[in-house]
Amino acid sequence: MNLNQNIKISLISAIDRESHTIGKEGGGLPWKIPEDFLHFKKTTMGHPIIMGRTTWEEFGGKPLPGRHHIVITRQTDYKIADEISDRVSVVTSIEKSLELASEIENNSHKENKFSGENKEKEIFVIGGAQIYELALPYANRLYLTLVDAHLDGPVKFPDYETASFTKIIFSRKSRDENFRYEFLVLEK
């Protein structure tokens, strides 16, 4: 795979602190955390985002503003509506998604089209579980929201602790007194 070494590959996810659950049985997020939505928006804005076909379909066909979407599927005939095809690409492997995302990120910096706050060259894998698993070996950085929800479900974030993400580069506890969570950024 031909990847530019100057581009960070990051995974971003909200996970149950104990069980690492990320999704409900049958789909959807297990919680609604407005501060985490804002954190996700601020962190990923202006950068390409990579996701599995299941996660993409949870967006209901509406791409998020300001970010190019790359959807991974094994279906070679998977269709995206014409009116959003300039903002959403479809690929059939994690490697192709990372190559395309790198190309898009490099071009947006070259053409000075970059619109986000985070000026670093960075591409984001936004889930779900199957795609995090495929992307983890390529990742340089993890943005994790550890949620004290005490729930357990079948859809889980992969085991990142043994993948040696031991360096904490950012940590902040939630401001919400009733619902505890913590923003963490980890590197190898």
Ligand X SMILES: NC(=O)c1ccc[n+]([C@@H]2O[C@H](COP(=O)([O-])OP(=O)(O)OC[C@H]3O[C@@H](n4cnc5c(N)ncnc54)[C@H](OP(=O)(O)O)[C@@H]3O)[C@@H](O)[C@H]2O)c1
List residues binding ligand X (CB under 6 A): 13-14, 22-24, 27-29, 51-55, 58, 72-75, 92-93, 126-131, 134, 155
Shortest separation between residue 127's beta carbon and ligand X, angstroms: 2
Quickly tell me which residue has 């670093």 as its tokens: 120
Instruction: Supply the DSSP string of the chain, one letter for each residue.
Output: ----TTSEEEEEEEEETTT-EEE-TTSS-S---HHHHHHHHHHHTTS-EEEEHHHHHHTTT-PPTTS-EEEE-S-TT----GGGTTTEEEESSHHHHHHHHHHHHHHHHHTT---SS--S-EEEE---HHHHHHHGGG-SEEEEEEE------SEE----GGGT--EEEEEEE-S-SSS-EEEEEEE-
Whichever of 7 and 12 has its CB closer to ligand X, that residue is 12
Shortest separation between residue 94's beta carbon and ligand X, angstroms: 7
Shortest separation between residue 6's beta carbon and ligand X, angstroms: 26
Whichever of 58 and 187 has its CB closer to ligand X, that residue is 58
Shortest separation between residue 102's beta carbon and ligand X, angstroms: 18
Shortest separation between residue 16's beta carbon and ligand X, angstroms: 9
Amino acid identity of residue 13, one-letter, is S
Whichever of 97 and 108 has its CB closer to ligand X, that residue is 97
Q: Which two tokens stand for residue 69?
A: 């979407």
Whichever of 39 and 68 has its CB closer to ligand X, that residue is 39
Direct distance between the N- and C-terminal alpha carbons of the chain, in angstroms, rounded to an integer: 21
Whichever of 108 and 135 has its CB closer to ligand X, that residue is 135
Whichever of 99 and 109 has its CB closer to ligand X, that residue is 99
Strand partners, 125: 11, 50
Shortest separation between residue 134's beta carbon and ligand X, angstroms: 6
